[in-house]
Amino acid sequence: MPTMKASLATQFNAHVAKVQPANILLFDQEVSTVPDIVKLTVGEPDFAVPTVAKQAAIDAINADDSHYAPGAGSLALRQAISHFLADRYALTYQAEGEIAVTIGATEAIYASLAALLNPGDEVLIPTPTFPLYETMTEMLGGHAVTIPTTAPDFVLTPDQLKAAINAHPQAKALILNYPSNPTGVTFTPAQLQALAAVLQETNLVVISDEIYSELVYEGTHTSLAKYLPGQTVILNGASKAGAMTGYRIGFIAGPAGIMQRIGVVHAVMITAPSDPAMAAAVPIFGSEAGHQATLKMKAAYQARRDYLAHALSELGFTVATPRGAFYLFAKLPADQGSDDVTFATRLAKEGQVATIPGSFFGAGGEGYLRLSYATSMAALKTAVARITKFLQTA
Ligand SMILES: Cc1ncc(COP(=O)(O)O)c(C=O)c1O
């Protein structure tokens, strides 16, 4: 086993050296050691990959689909994505030049930011938020400017956006995520329209992370791109709605002028995504069988959401309006104070229920817990019984 030459310790990229292991991961690892714990921590579907997707991957392997695909991804998948965006969200993106298949939504975020940022460039990020946006921005030598939003629903308002733009007129990008991880809240069309009216006066590129778009329980998902097509890039993928996190298929859709630059980063970094994984995603986005499979999972999430949101409210938690994704963002009952880290640690170690402290998602999250309901109804019922008991003794 080689030992690194000691003097190499100072040789690394300073931005990378600053990146700390994610709090969420560390906390999850710590509480996972509690015997028989029920975990509501993980943002990952508990369903098997739909059969139609598995079969497509098997067929691709058997057909020796094993060569470098085009950098933007296989044409079949880009066409399926083009169909998906038109069919579900009435958006028009061409397979050629306006869509790129990425290694999960994660690479889509990275490639978008890398295409935009020069050292020191600012990126506006409303909080509470998915922590990776800030980490990636800083790792790329940019500077994350957080915009704290306010309870109960933490929805970015036009006034909050205007204030951030006025204070940071040189910012390059705004990152939005709706439905939101961690809150489950999403924008209404009117709210998106109001934000678009502010944004169109600026040169901000909006990185619109819509990875949970197929998991909207009331009404349907609307993309900001409907109102702001010229400066929005949509990020999405098969990980959540297709229960395919391990296949690593995401995508970016945007105007050709932006996609050309993002495509350079993407091609240099990854050459092309994996052929069998792309083949698996084709029916998810492009077939009725794939759509039906995602709808079935969505119905199960919805029943779990209804159960958990109701149970938590009965226990004195205040839950942000959970219209989408598979998370509840719950404010601690008034008599439990606002130290979410201590509460979540005790709930895990004494109550055997693992949740994520809200403050790990940035300003505004203090005094909250994020609970994932991407787990079985039986596990949720055990969790509720345990939380009830814990609160009686806490
Ligand atoms: C908001 C958000 N964006 C992106 C991702 C990453 O998605 P993928 O697994 O497709 O890379 C996640 C995963 O938890 C997420 O919650």
| Domain CATH number, residue 209 | 3.40.640.10
364: left (phi over 0), alpha (psi -120 to 50) or beta: left
Choice from 240, 270, 278, 326 to test ligand 1 binding pocket (greatest atom count within 8 A of CB): 240
Give the pocket of ligand 1 (CB within 6 Å): 43, 104-106, 130, 177, 181, 209, 211, 237, 239, 245, 250
**130 Cα: distance to centroid of ligand 1 (angstroms):** 8
| 9: helix, strand or coil | helix
**141 Cα: distance to centroid of ligand 1 (angstroms):** 22
pLDDT at 20: 82
Is residue 333 in some structural domain?
Answer: yes
CA dist list (Å): 225 to 98, 133, 157, 323, 348? 13, 20, 17, 20, 41
- DSSP assignment of 30-65: HHTTSTT-EE----S--SPPPHHHHHHHHHHHHTT-
Query: What are the backbone angles phi and psi of residue 100, rounded to the nearest 5°?
Result: -130, 135
pLDDT at 355: 98
**337 Cα: distance to centroid of ligand 1 (angstroms):** 31
**Does residue 240 sit in the same domain as residue 97?**
yes
**Does residue 239 sit in the same domain as residue 380?**
no
Full residue range of the structural domain in which residue 182 is found = 51-290
Secondary structure tally for the chain: helices H, strands E: 13, 13
CA dist list (Å): 228 to 186, 225, 231? 17, 5, 6
CA-to-CA distance for 82 and 278, rounded, in angstroms? 14
**Domain C-terminal end among 236, 265, 290:** 290
Low-confidence ranges of the chain (pLDDT < 50): none
**Does residue 120 sit in the same domain as residue 176?**
yes
Is residue 3 in some structural domain?
Answer: no
**265 Cα: distance to centroid of ligand 1 (angstroms):** 19
pLDDT at 136: 97
**Does residue 85 sit in the same domain as residue 44?**
no
Q: Are 348 and 354 in contact (CB under 8 A)?
A: yes
Half-sphere exposure of 150 (CA within 13 A, CB side): 5
Is residue 147 in some structural domain?
Answer: yes
Question: For position 359, which CATH number holds?
Answer: 3.90.1150.10
Going by alpha carbons, the residue nearest to atom 7 of ligand 1 is 105
pLDDT at 98: 98
**Does residue 224 sit in the same domain as residue 314?**
no
pLDDT at 18: 87
**Does residue 241 sit in the same domain as residue 325?**
no
Choice from 112, 127, 181, 236 to test ligand 1 binding pocket (greatest atom count within 8 A of CB): 181
Residue 126's nearest CA partner among 198, 61, 37 is 198
Atom of ligand 1 lying closest to residue 237 CA: 10
pLDDT tens-digit series, residues 141-183: 999 999 999 999 999 999 999 999 999 999 999 999 999 999 9
Is residue 44 in some structural domain?
Answer: yes
**235 Cα: distance to centroid of ligand 1 (angstroms):** 10
**Does residue 180 sit in the same domain as residue 201?**
yes
Choice from 42, 106, 176 to test ligand 1 binding pocket (greatest atom count within 8 A of CB): 106
**Domain C-terminal end among 228, 259, 290:** 290
**Does residue 221 sit in the same domain as residue 324?**
no
Choice from 133, 211, 236, 327 to test ligand 1 binding pocket (greatest atom count within 8 A of CB): 211
Atom of ligand 1 lying closest to residue 107 CA: 11
**212 Cα: distance to centroid of ligand 1 (angstroms):** 9
**375 Cα: distance to centroid of ligand 1 (angstroms):** 17
Going by alpha carbons, the residue nearest to atom 13 of ligand 1 is 43
**388 Cα: distance to centroid of ligand 1 (angstroms):** 31
**Does residue 26 sit in the same domain as residue 61?**
no
CA-to-CA distance for 147 and 115, rounded, in angstroms? 23
